[in-house]
Structures are given as structure tokens and as C-alpha cells.
Chains A and B, each alone.
Chain A
Amino acid sequence: MLSFASLLRFLRICIFEHLKCCSLLGCKSYGTPEKKQSPDEKVFQEIKKSRNKRQKPMGWKCVDNCCWIVGYLCTTSWLLLFLLYIVPVSLPGLKGPEIPGARLKREGLVANHPVVLVPGIITGGLELWEGKPCAEPLFRKRLWGGWGSGFTDIFRRPVCWMDHLSLHYETGLDPPGIRVRPAPGLVAADYFAPGYFVWAILIENLAQIGYEDRNMYMAAYDWRLSFQNTEVRDRSLSRLKGQIEIMYATNGDKKVVVFPHSMGAVYFLHFLKWVELPAPVGGGGGSGWCAKYIKAIVNIGPTFLGVPKAFATILSAEGKDISLIRAMAAGLLESEFLGLQTIEHVMRVSRTWDSIVSLLPKGGETVWGNLDWSPEEGYNCESEEKRQLQALSKENNTRSSTDKSLFQVKHHKKYGRIISFGKEASEVVSSQLPTFSKDFMHSSTSANSSTSRGEFWTEYDDMSRENFQKIAENKVYTTTDLLDLLRYVAPKMMQRAEAHYSHGIAENLEDPKYNHHKYWSNPLETMLPDAPDMETYCMYGVGIPTERSYVYKMSPSDRRKGIPFRIDNSADGSDSCLRGGVYFVDGDESVPVLSSGFMCAKGWRGKTRFNPSGSATYVREYRHKPPSSMLEGRGLESAGHVDIMGNVALIEDVLRIAAGATGSELGGDRIHSDLLKMCNRVNVPL
């Protein structure tokens, strides 16, 4: 009787919500009956045969059989579902480990400072406010992130979806007739996809010690736009300023603690500068604004000095961040799948996003190394694995041989060459390289085939094969060269984006030109605000191989259109540093240690020209430990770029800071990597 009632209820829910129904029931039972039908059909055919022999009257038709099976399966699945529902929510013994928030609450931590969360690139949700007719049913539904009921609609029309996600190529703002806006509120970036948390765990832990909507704010912004454009179009910076002021006022004049993640760290850097400058360009907060309102900036996995993989993303749409998409829809990205050139699509769309340019490595060869030199040189890729090996088996003389190979490897790694064409080029001594000439870059890009600016147009289509050849002949590119290369292969994009971003190092920070907004998000070209009591933290994971430089090759020439370069997947080194055409260093899988740690460890440490007020900085590293069992999900001690938001140690630090602890109370710096050594090799005048 009860189960029948539940059935009825279920049907009613189904009527209201077709889609939910599909996900709950449909999809489950779509799969099962189809699989099981074939063997069962055989059985039934046999039965039928035997019956035919005996020439009994036909009572069981095939259709009836099918119906019977389906009904049987449905009933069983419903019963199971029902059982699942009535099982007491907390089975004893199945309880996971206690979340850190609950433990700290018992210690007596309570919500103190209001908290602002600044999401990074990709992880923030976007929703549709105005679109073309093909997107009619998606109004106010998610186009990006946190896909719920709208997902099937997206899946049915991927091209339409792509159209809505891309921006205008020239302005970097909305294309005409389309308005896609960031989703507001905590839901903007709590889960990226159902079950794939971003901020959710952190929010839950904060809630444990008393945080709620009134003292926690998610500074959602459109991560596709350049930072200043978020203000121009959406007033995001003004709203962030307003919200911080509101929270400060309604929480008894307590300063806020800001938690930016990933690109959000650079975004907030931009905000810090914007908010104090006078009104037309800035927010007009006056020079004491940051000192008055901000207690601490706790950067989680910050991309302060950029990430090398941004180059790969722009050049050939092969970044690992985009691999999130790949992971979610593996089949889709197989090029030529269904005749769609998916990678080209991705490139076309992502090149309209100014924000990706903000992630290009900053500081040029001084920070990222040149042909012969790099700050990470001598990094021992295998140390991690070796340690494990040693722990497992302290055997025989293999050790000496590995040591030898390591020694050799050390010689080879030239991380400064961020892109090399061919594995040899990445290894040879610089004197053996063909003489470098940038001349071709200044020649015109002479479009030989401007015939078909079809749907999938990228700026590569305006270039000729010879130009690509020349690029490849040049063999080796450092960061500075790469910026030139990008200006060459994608002039329009770079022209658009470089109005918003700069990637150099300031000679003289007093120069009034640095009041232009394009310098604000580059920590090497701005000063921190005058706020001596403000604390800056860099919290990030270490112990995961992170992309640092690439071995490229030309793509096979039979393809007329498309992307001319590819990462050379076949290039493997003798050690784990070079795998699949990618050189790895220490980091959190997305951001190398150098980028996330340098500013806090050296650039802003003490009174420097980048930090004139001498506000305190702290580096907190978290060593990666893969999840020990499947039950742990993405790991309680993971240090992956996004997974770190579920790291117990980080959460504990975050809660303590929010509850009022200072950096020295946390224990000051906590460094596992070779960060300090690397920093010392970087000669930025401070």
C-alpha cells in the first residue's frame, strides 16, 4: 500500500518534472531493460519454439513478454528506489569522517569576519538572459556550470550553445542579441556539475561555525570578460565594493576576509587597485578603502604570474583546463566527430574570451626563464615516485643507475623554452639552435585564402601554410617570443586583449601610466594598496606534476583548415618530466609553484616596491595525497587545483582566519616545495 502511494507520488512528480524523472527513473531503467532484453528474448524465443512444437494456442505474444519484462524491471527498480528513500538517512557505521567545521566549532570558533568568495575561471556559472530563438527554452537557465534541468536542452543543440557562449571578436563584449550573465549568489560556483564540488565543501564548513547568507558573499562575475569589462557591462566591481561595505556595516564593523580562487586572485588584485582610484576609471573608494574594509586576502591556488598552459590553450586549444570539457564529454572532442570540428569550435569560442589572456605568463624571461636558464632547473621530477619506490623496496643497485639518469636529465631540462618544435629542439644547447630571427613576424600575415570565412573561422584561416612552416622552423620560443608569436598568429585577439592586460615587469611603479587599468591585474606592475594591517596569503597545493613547457609539431598537412600546430604526444623523456609532449614541474596540476608562490614568498615579502606598506604575507603549501579509497571521493588531502577546496588542512586554515586568527597564529609559512630556492634564482628588482 505504501509502495503504491509512493508510486503514485513518483508519477506525479514525473508529470511536474519530466527531466528529473528521466534522471531518476528513466535513465536508470532505459539502460537496464535494453541490456537484458537480448538474452531474455532468446529464452522466450525458445519457449515459443517449444510451444509451437506442441502447437498450443498462443497466449504469450512477444509484445506481452516485453511488456512483462519491462514492468518487472520497473517494479523492481521502483521498489529499490523506494527502499533507498525509506532507509534512515544516517545509517550507523556509514558515517564519513567528521568535517573539520564541526570539530572547530567544538573548539569554540564562531563566525567573526564576513567572508567574500571570488571564484576563478571556468568554475563560475553563466545563465542566459537573452538569446537567439534556438535558445528560447534556456531563459534564465544555466549555460555553464551547475547544469541542472537545462542540460538536455544544451545537449540537443551544441552549436547554438557555443554561439551563446562566445563573445564578440572585436569588442570582447556580448554579441548582438545575446545576453549571457553570471549566475548570482552562492549557487554560482558551489558545484560545477552535480556532484563536482567547487566551493560547496568550504561553504558547508563555514556554515558550521555560523556563516550564512548575510555574512558570506559570492562575488560572481562573468569570467569570460576582461576584468574591467565586468565593471563596464555588469557593474560587477561596483557591486562587489557595495557588498563588502554592506557586510562590513551589518556585521558590526568587522573587516572582511576575501577568498579568491585561481583567476579570482588576479581579479581581486584588479579590484584592489580599481576600488581606490577616483571615479571615472576606478571605484572612488579613496586611498584608505582597503585598509578600512579588508582584513586578509587568502588566495587559494592563485595564478599570480600566469600559467604556461594558457599558451597551449590559445595556440591549439589543448590546455588541460579545457580538458575538463574533455573529461565530461570525451566523444565530443574527437575531431571530425559528427562532422563538427570540435576543437576548432572550442578555439573559436575560447579566443573570444579576454580572460584567458590574463592567464598568460607574466614577467617575461626574468621570471619564466630563457633559452638556457629557468628558475626551476634542477627540479627532480621523479623524487616523488622515487620516494615511494624506496619505501616499497630498498633493493639492489638499481638506485645508483636511476641516480645517474637523473643527473643526465638535469642537464636536459630547459623549462624556459616554453614551446619547442620537436623534442631535439627542447634539449639541445642554445648555441646549436638555428639562428633566431623574428623578422618574419613583422611581415604581413598575407591571407592567401580569405575565400571561406565560414562558420568555424579562426584567425589561422587568414594565414598561409608557409607562414606556419616558418613558425615551426624557428624551433624554440620563450615567454617573450611567445607573446610576439601570438600577436603574429592572432593579431586581432591580442589587440583586443592587450588593451586590458599587460605581461611585463614595471621599471618604475611611480610612472603615471601604471594608473591604466590594464596593469592592475599584473602583480609585477602594481603596488599593493596602502594597508599595513592587511594580510595576504598564498595557499596552494604541491606535489602534482604541472604543465610547464611543451613540445609541438605541425599537424598533418592534409587538413586544409584547422589548427596548424599540435602538441607532440609521442615525445616522451627518459624520466617522468617529459610525458606526452609536456614538461612537468611541481605544482597543483594547473598552476606551477612559481606562479602561485613567488609573490607571497618574495615579491611582496617585507617592504618591497610592490608592497610599499609592508603588509604581511604568508605562504601555505599543502602536499598532495591521492584519495586512499573510493569512498573518499576526491580526497580529503588532495592538492589538485580545484580539489584543494576540499582539503581538510586548508579548510581548517580558512576557518581559523575567518574566525579571526592572524597568519602567525596559524604558524606562519608552511613550505614543502623548492619555492624559496626558485625564488632566489629570479632576479626581479624589489
Chain B
Amino acid sequence: MSLIRRKNVPESSEAEIVDAEDDKKSKVPERKNRQWSCLDTCCWMVGCICVVWWLLLFSYNAMPASFPQFVTEAITGPLPDPPGVKVLKEGLKVKHPVVFVPGIVTAGLELWEGKDCTDGLFRKRLWGGTFGEVYKRPLCWMEHMILDNETGLDPPGVRVRPVTGLVAADYFAPGYFVWAVLIGNLARLGYEEKNMYMASYDWRLSFQNTEVRDQTLSRIKSNIELMVATSGGKKAVIIPHSMGVLYFLHFMKWVEAPAPMGGGGGPNWCAKHLKAVMNIGGPFLGVPKSVPGLFSAEVRDIAIIRAVAPGILDKDLFRFHMMLQHVMKVTRTWDSTMSMIPKGGDTIWGGLDWSPEEGYSPGKRDQNNNGTETPDNSEDENLISDAKHAHYGRIISFGKEAAIAAAAELKRIDFRDAVKGRNVANSSCRDVWTEYHDMGFGGINAVAEYKVYTADEILELLQFVAPKMMARGSAHFSYGIAENLDDPKYDHYKYWSNPLETKLPNAPDMEIFTLYGVGIPTERAYVYGLTNSAECAIPFQIDTSAHCADSCLAGGVYTVDGDETVPTLSAGYMCAKGWRGKTRFNPSGIKTYVREYDHAPPATLLEGRGTQSGAHVDIMGNFALIEDVLRVAAGATGEELGGDQIYSDILKWADRIKLDL
């Protein structure tokens, strides 16, 4: 027994050892398998990506600077000279000092004083740049971008100020140029800091408030005087863009008005200091898209935010509806958004039955351009029927039927005296208060029942849904047409940014250009619907399901010709007709020129945003436009540029507008 036992024991131990060895052998592959777990694979992948990334980065950094250009040229053939080089070769040189006036949204804002949550952000950009803070602390950021609801000025304890210098608006975000290309080309002619000036202002404020708070208008005035003096008396060329156009209109009036309200420059200030005003993409008569912006926070301009930060406004992340309300709450405190409400009312923008653009069809102009006009009866009929449908005058219609129906068929119930009612959910929405929360279902339904709103009625609508905002705004802006421009009431600053209620300054030698892109569908009128959802939501929404057979109505939006943001009518009318020759708006007969740039999308991806683009911001990189600007800066007159350059139907449309001149 014992022997057997003894024998057995080693055997078994041997077996155990063998077993153990076997185990080991079998365990090792097992463990190996376990090592290749999901986590390891992830790490491995990340590692691979990183290594490749670094290699690419390294080769990118080690690459000679001219390489991208080389590749581009290899693919698309030699690039045309940038306009700066081209014009320099012709012997043009720096002559007149240049002033840039940036538009809404594109200029940077920085923090000078903030609440505790903004620690470390002193003098850093809150707007423009990388927008890093929007991600990190969105609510804090909102708190600082918002203005006071009553005064339209800083909330207590917060000071957000415009960035100064050319950096204020050369790039909006890294790689997204605004003025940079133009500045680069001007520099080739010899321009530098001493004869270029960026008139940056806080674009959230109403125009007069920029003077009240920051003395911005005074500083622009002094800087223009300084530049004119240091350039040997050569007058300045002003280049406003987008809302900057209205801002500068306000400035021209302000600077000549006497001191308490104006700048006290005297009646000849503009004649003495300004050579030309080259308005780029100017919304002289407003933009229809500002209406949905104020009405339901659904602007495409704010879409720049969306483009930069798609995640943030995405529906599912961060509760989109709350986000929209936050946006609305913030933007409604910005007086400047109200400067772009369509001006001139029904006379300019059309009534229920007519509009200046009627008969426009996106396809038609292209055909004209191609020069292959084929008189095709069926198509013409088509066009006519289309024309019947598109009632651009109805800027907001509730439901597609209302947008299409003939005027006689519309049944409208007046909303003006409707009882607003009370919002039941008032208490729960406190943190994101918009004026909609003072409205109950009665009010909302009344608005919807009126069906159709024209430009005049839009103002009443906004007054109905947002009385406090409009009360604040109407102290600074006016949207009408002057009966008699000599009426002393027009000395008030609220009329100064409306070209239909002010006279141009007495400066017969000055020239006014309007430069804008055409050939891009631009928002003109909207089809709205009611939202049926949550208590705190904004009650109205663009009805994105509204489509038409033709391309004019898509996603609830009627589009016309324009530069994607400003319709041609708004950008071109004043220079094409309102100020052409000696009119009551232009008593000294300042020469005006319309320069249109037909949009051509970038041919390849390598071109970036294109050198022939006509889009609202991208046009600042349009070579033809830059060349025009350079020539004027170097001394050319409008005649020397070649006078008008018109691709759109602006003259036809301008003729349809019945306005006393």
C-alpha cells in the first residue's frame, strides 16, 4: 500500500506538474488572447492613428511653404496672379488711406470685466477666434454675451468690448477669413497699419449706443482725420461690409450733425475727408431673414455658429429647444439685429399681391447669361404660372396655402387687439425668459389666424409678440419712408441708418459704390407653422416641409436672387435708383455705381472658399472685387472702373417700385 502510495504520489505530482505545464501552455495563449482585449485594440488603434498623424504633421511642417500652391498649380494649371500683384505690376501704388467697417457677427469681442466664472479670460476673445469658451462653459458665455434687456447696454458687472485693430475682423475663426485677403492684397500696394484702419465697434449695440458707451463714432472720426492728415491730405476710402454699411450711413449723418447728438464736424466734413464709400454686400433696405431671426431665432446668419460648432445646436445634444431659446434670449437683447428689419414697408418689399421681384425664376437668369435663349412657349407659360405662385410680398405666411392663395381668397382675423392670454407654464421657464412666455394660446392663435404678413405688418407683428424689445429698438431705428426730408424730426439719430429717411451728405465729389454678389438663392419670404410641443418652446417655427414644384420655395423659404444673405433689391436699389442722379435722398448728386459679381462656386476643393464667389462673406475673397477696391484705393474713379456692372434684374425691379425721388 505504502509502496503503491509512494509510487502514486510522485506519479500524481508528476501528473500535476505535467498538468501544470499543460495548463501553462494552454494558459499562455489564453492570456495572450486576453491581452488582445478590446481595450488593447483601442489603444493600438489610437496609437496607429497618432503615429500616422504625427508623421503627417511632421511632413506638413517640413514641407516647403510653396508646396500647396505647387500642387494646386499642377492640378488646375497656373493660378492667376492675386489682384494685389496684378495691380502692382500696372504701377499702382498706395494712395488714399483706407477704413474698414466690419459687419455684424464677423468682428471679435473681448472680455474686460466679468463674473467669477470667467476667471482667466481677461482680454481673451469671447466672440471670434476659436470659440473655445462656448464649449467649456456655455451658460457663463451666454451670460456675458447678453446685454441688458431694458437699456441695451452692458449688464452690471460685465464689460465686453470690441477688439481693436486689424485683427478685430481679419479672421472670424482660424482659417475663416473675413478681411484678411483684402488686407493682404492692399499690403502688396504698400498699405500698412498707418494707412489702414479697422473701425471696429460693438456690433451688438445700437449704433448711437456705440458712441454713448465706447465713443466709437468719435474715435472713427478722429482716426479718419488723423489718417487724412498724415497721408498728406488724401481723402479716405471707406469700405463697409454688411451691417457696417448702415453703421457708416449713420456715421456720415452723425459726423455732420451738431455736437450734443452728433459729432460736430460741420456740414462739409464728408466732402473734406471722404473720397469714396465702397459698400460691400450692404443691406441698405434690410434683410428679410432678420425677421425670422427675431421671430423664432432661426436665422441663417447664426448658422455661422452652427457651421463652426455643429454639435452645439444639434437637436439631441444639450436639449436643442432650450438652446434655441437661449439664442433668442441673447439675440433679442442685441439692438443691432433690429437695424436690419426690412425698411420701406410695402412700397419697397411688396404687398399681398405684388412684389418687385415677381416673375423671378432662378433658371431664367442663367439662361440669359448663357446666351442660349430659346423661345420656348411651354417654359414661358411655366414661368408665368410660377410667377403667380411666388408672392414675395408676403414675408411671413402661416401655412403654404396662405402663401399661394390669391389675395381675395385670404381670410384674415386681426390679431392686433387679441388678448394675449397667460402662459400656463410661466413658472417653469423662468431661467430662459423670452417675451413669448407672456403670451398664452389666445395670442399665439391670433397671430397664426392672421395668415399673412407683409413688410408693414411684420413690424406690427413684432410689436405684438415682443413689445419690450421693439420699444427699445424703435428708439434707435426707424423703418419707414420719409414724406418730407426737411422735417426737423429727421434730425433725430434714429432715422440716420435708414437711407429712405435721410439725405446723403453734401459732398458732390464723393462716390458711392455698392458691390455685391448675385446668383445665389437668398431668403426672401417664409412659410411658418405652429409648434405643438413643449411648454417652454418658441411657439412658431419655419415649416420646413413646405416645398414647391419650382425651386423658389424650398424648406419653407422662398428665395430670390442675392448673395445668400442680402437680396439684390436691398443691396442694389439705393445706388441703382434711390440715389441715382439728383434725388431728394441725394440732394448734391453724389455719383453712385452698382458693381455686381456673379457667383461661381469654387472649382476644386483646393480653392477653399473660391476666388470668384459671390456669397455674402466669401465675396471678400473675390478677385474681381478686390481688384476694384484696390484701384479705387489707388486713386481710380468709378468711371475708370467701368461704371455699372450689372448681371441681375435689379434695374427692372427698381422700376417697379413706386417711390417719390
Binding site for B on A (CB under 8 A): 5, 9, 13-14, 16-18, 21-22, 26, 29-30, 54, 56, 59-60, 64, 66-72, 74-75, 85, 89-90, 129-130, 136-137, 139-140, 152-153, 179, 181-182, 184-187, 190, 203-204, 207-208, 212-214, 234-235, 238-239, 242-243, 245-246, 249-251
Contact = CB atoms under 8 A, between A and B. Distances in A.
A250 B220 CA distance: 11
Contacts of B119: 89-90
Interface in B37-61: 40, 42-51, 53-54, 57, 60-61
B193 interface: yes
Nearest to B170: A140
Contacts of A213: 112, 161-162, 164, 214
B422 interface: no
A185 B162 CA distance: 12
B187 A72 contact: no
B230 A9 contact: no
A239 B174 contact: no
B60 A136 contact: no
A189 B339 CA distance: 37
Best-buried of B44, B136, B165 by chain A (most CB within 10 Å): B44
Contacts of A26: 54, 57
17 contacts: A9-B135, A18-B60, A59-B32, A66-B47, A67-B51, A68-B47, A70-B46, A75-B42, A129-B192, A179-B190, A212-B112, A213-B214, A234-B194, A242-B223, A245-B222, A246-B226, A249-B218
B82 to A, nearest CB: 12
Contacts of A71: 42-50
B411 interface: no
A343 to B, nearest CB: 28
B47 A204 contact: no
A246 B57 contact: no
A586 to B, nearest CB: 35
A74 B47 contact: yes
Interface string B224-247: 011001100000000000000000
A5 B66 CA distance: 35
Contacts of A130: 187-188, 190
B165 A185 contact: yes
B260 interface: no
B90 interface: no
A207 B112 contact: yes
Given A54-B28, A89-B117, A70 B193 contact: no
Contacts of A90: 116, 119
A239 B194 contact: yes
B60 to A, nearest CB: 6
Contacts of B66: 136
5 shortest A-B CB distances, which residue pairs?
A: A71-B47, A67-B47, A71-B46, A70-B47, A71-B43
Contacts of B193: 129, 181-182, 184, 234
A75 B43 contact: yes
Nearest to B183: A140
A225 to B, nearest CB: 13
A212 B202 CA distance: 13
B130 interface: yes
B311 interface: yes
A243 B164 CA distance: 14
A2 to B, nearest CB: 11
B122 A214 contact: no
Interface residues of B, number: 67
B87 to A, nearest CB: 15
B135 A238 contact: no
Contact of B44 (A68, A153, A179): A68
Given A66-B47, A74-B50, A136-B66, A212 B218 contact: no
A5 B311 contact: yes
B642 interface: no
B54 to A, nearest CB: 7
B50 A185 contact: no
B60 A203 contact: no
Contacts of A69: 47
B123 interface: yes
A86 to B, nearest CB: 8
B36 interface: yes
A207 B222 contact: no
B604 to A, nearest CB: 19
Best-buried of B42, B47, B175 by chain A (most CB within 10 Å): B47
B215 A214 contact: yes
Contact of B223 (A136, A153, A246): A246
B28 A56 contact: yes
A665 B311 CA distance: 57
B555 interface: no
A22 B183 CA distance: 28
Nearest to A138: B65
Contacts of A9: 135, 311
Contacts of B371: none
A22 B120 CA distance: 22
Contacts of A74: 46-47, 50
B219 interface: yes
B113 interface: yes
B218 A64 contact: no
B202 to A, nearest CB: 11
B174 A67 contact: no
Contacts of A235: 194, 230
Interface in B456-497: none
Contacts of B161: 212-214
Contacts of B165: 184-185, 187
B51 A70 contact: yes
Nearest to B49: A71
Contacts of B43: 68, 71-72, 75
Contact of A250 (B25, B218, B229): B218
B159 interface: yes
A4 to B, nearest CB: 11
A89 B230 contact: no
B184 interface: yes
Given A182-B193, A208-B113, 10 more contacts: A56-B32, A60-B35, A74-B46, A140-B170, A212-B161, A214-B215, A214-B216, A234-B193, A246-B223, A250-B219
Contacts of A21: 57
Nearest to A54: B28
A246 B192 CA distance: 21
A208 B157 CA distance: 11
A130 B93 CA distance: 14
Best-buried of B119, B162, B180, B226 by chain A (most CB within 10 Å): B226
Given A59-B36, A67-B48, A71-B42, A242 B226 contact: yes
Contacts of B170: 140
Contact of A13 (B42, B45, B130): B130
A147 to B, nearest CB: 15
Nearest to B184: A139
Contacts of B91: none
A71 B162 CA distance: 43
B29 interface: yes
A239 B226 contact: yes
A246 B222 contact: yes
A75 B46 CA distance: 8
B192 A89 contact: no
A650 to B, nearest CB: 20
Contacts of B123: 186, 190, 203-204, 207
A64 B175 contact: no
Contacts of A243: 226
A124 B473 CA distance: 43
A90 B137 CA distance: 13
B222 A249 contact: yes
A204 B193 CA distance: 25
Nearest to A57: B29
A181 B165 CA distance: 14
A302 B276 CA distance: 45
A654 B596 CA distance: 54
Nearest to A204: B122
A136 B194 CA distance: 21
